[in-house]
Amino acid sequence: MISAETIPNNVGLSSNKRLQRALEYWQPKYIQWWKDMGPQGFQDYHQVYVRTAVSVDASGWAHFEYVRLPEYRWGIFLADPVHDRRIGFGDFLGQPVWQEVPGEFRNQLRRLIVTQGDTEPASVEQQRWLGQRCPSMYDLRNLFQVNVEEGRHLWAMVYLLHSYFGRDGRDEAEELLARQSGNRDKPRILDAFNEPIENWLDFFMFTMFTDRDGKSQLLSLSESSLDPLSRTTRFMLTEEAHHMFVGETGIARIIERTCQLLQGAGYSEDVRKLGGIDLPTIQKFINLWFSLSLDLHGNEISTNAATYFGNGLKGRAQEEKWDDHHVTEAIYELEVPGDGRLERKAIPMRTAMNEVLRDWYVGDCEAGVQRWNKIFERHSMADRLRLPDRKFNRGIGMFSSMHFDPHGTPLSKADWERRKHEWLPSPADREYLLSIMATPVYEPGQFANYIAPPVRGINRQPINFEYVRTEG
């Protein structure tokens, strides 16, 4: 039964019969999807110490309790309204924001919301086997926290579809549960969400780089003239921050452990013999997940992006930091493939909005990599990790038909095929990672050999806290 007790919310669910009816139909399908496609092996007999958002104020979204995963209270929250909020960019700059969907932008908005919504269950599906290979109980809890919150982000998009898009919205909400990550016939919409996440290096890189695309896209959607979309995405950003924390600190702990192993062995290069993860492998996974996540920003030159901006549907990250919010005259210079070589070309900035957002994203990733590099400095080691060039390993956009090395030097197809596993994970790298993750670590306070413990526990609990309890 749908009720405000089982579904924490601040959208007036108890008095909204239409939404209640739509959810009554959708929620059982969601739970079935969660059981079938969510964390495998942890649905029935485990209780997980997770945060549940029960309201949008600071104490309300940091409410911790033990729950069985299928009984998690997925809620619906909008950030507080901004008094007299005005459209901040595009052709309708300065007009009051919309509380309803304008008919002429219905399809575009639905498409944006569906694309955003599709990524959320996709990531849960991608990560569903990881619990069986976890490096510690602390990490297992973090995985499930990320998973339930991605589930909540799906609810957030489904709320918008149910409330503002009538019949079409209800159909789309069902489709969100029908597509499946990696499924040949019914794949998820965006490519990175069809990639397997089979080991914990994939997982931490995904939460570092792909969740950070979530951050850049949510920042740009939170500028939207459709106020409910803006408010929903603003609240989602608070949860996204924790997901990136999991990724960034997860990799930092792996680097820390690798440094310790290297030092212990007198800097012998072969960390693998000691059961750790060598730096070249870490670099390959950065190369993979960074390039896949660059693709998620779409084509460099995009009329879709120009239309979204002009119509006020999707802005730039932190739009208030820009001077010109009309962007009718501004140009953007970018590198394009020309007559056998790369040349610089100036294009109208509106058509370059995907690239503008990608710039923001690359800067945010770069800062994260620099934080990792501080670990080497602390250990007085000269090693450094780096982001590959933007043209490397692209599947979307104008460089997708070409090949480049991580420095951005063009390569022939034959050279790329011959050398790609110097820069991207090879089957042997993956096999090695699976071998060191084959035995999960479920003892409180114990950690797999390839990862250092965190600096502190969750919600001020000790590191050896029983974050996941097994029933009877």
Does 120 help bind ligand BYC (rule: CB under 6 A)? Answer: yes
Does 197 help bind ligand BYC (rule: CB under 6 A)? Answer: no
What does each C-alpha distance from 267 to 257, 381, 436, 449 come to in angstroms?
A: 13, 10, 21, 17
Please state, in angstroms and rounded to a whole number, the distance separating the CA atoms of residues 37 and 204.
20
Q: Among residue numbers 77 through 116, which ones bind ligand BYC (CB under 6 A)?
A: 112, 115-116
Does 214 help bind ligand BYC (rule: CB under 6 A)? Answer: yes
Q: Among residue numbers 282 through 311, which ones bind ligand BYC (CB under 6 A)?
A: 295-299, 302, 304-305
Among 195, 213, 223, 405, the residue binding ligand BYC under the rule CB under 6 A is 213
Q: Shortest approach of ligand BYC to residue 242 CB, angstroms?
A: 12
Q: Shortest approach of ligand BYC to residue 431 CB, angstroms?
A: 26
* Other C-beta atoms lying within 10 Å of the C-beta of residue 363: 10
Tokens in use for 163? 């409330």
Q: Shortest approach of ligand BYC to residue 317 CB, angstroms?
A: 12
Burial class (CB in 10 A: 0-12, 13-18, 19+), 90: buried
Among 150, 202, 405, 429, the residue binding ligand BYC under the rule CB under 6 A is 150
Looking at the Cβ atoms of 217 and 287, the one nearer to ligand BYC is 217
Tokens in use for 228? 């409910």
Q: Shortest approach of ligand BYC to residue 217 CB, angstroms?
A: 4
Nearest to 219 by CA among 233, 240, 207, 231: 233
End-to-end CA distance of the chain: 28
Please state, in angstroms and rounded to a whole number, the distance separating the CA atoms of residues 142 and 51.
10
Measured at CB, which residue is nearest to ligand BYC? 298
Q: Shortest approach of ligand BYC to residue 206 CB, angstroms?
A: 7
Nearest to 191 by CA among 338, 294, 85: 294
Kindly indicate which of the ranges 28-36, 157-165, 211-219, 404-412 contains the residues binding ligand BYC, using the contact rule CB under 6 A. 211-219
Give residues with Cβ within 8 angstroms of 21, minimum separation 6. none
Does 388 help bind ligand BYC (rule: CB under 6 A)? Answer: no
Does 151 help bind ligand BYC (rule: CB under 6 A)? Answer: no
> What's the helix, strand, coil split of the chain in %, to 5?
50, 10, 40
* Other C-beta atoms lying within 10 Å of the C-beta of residue 357: 22
Number of shown-chain residues binding ligand BYC (CB under 6 A)? 25
Does 125 help bind ligand BYC (rule: CB under 6 A)? Answer: no
Following DSSP, what letter does each residue of 177-191 receive, concatenated? HH--TT-SSS--SSG
Contacts with ligand BYC, residue ranges (CB under 6 A): 112, 115-116, 119-120, 123, 150, 190-191, 210-211, 213-214, 217, 295-299, 302, 304-305, 314, 354, 396
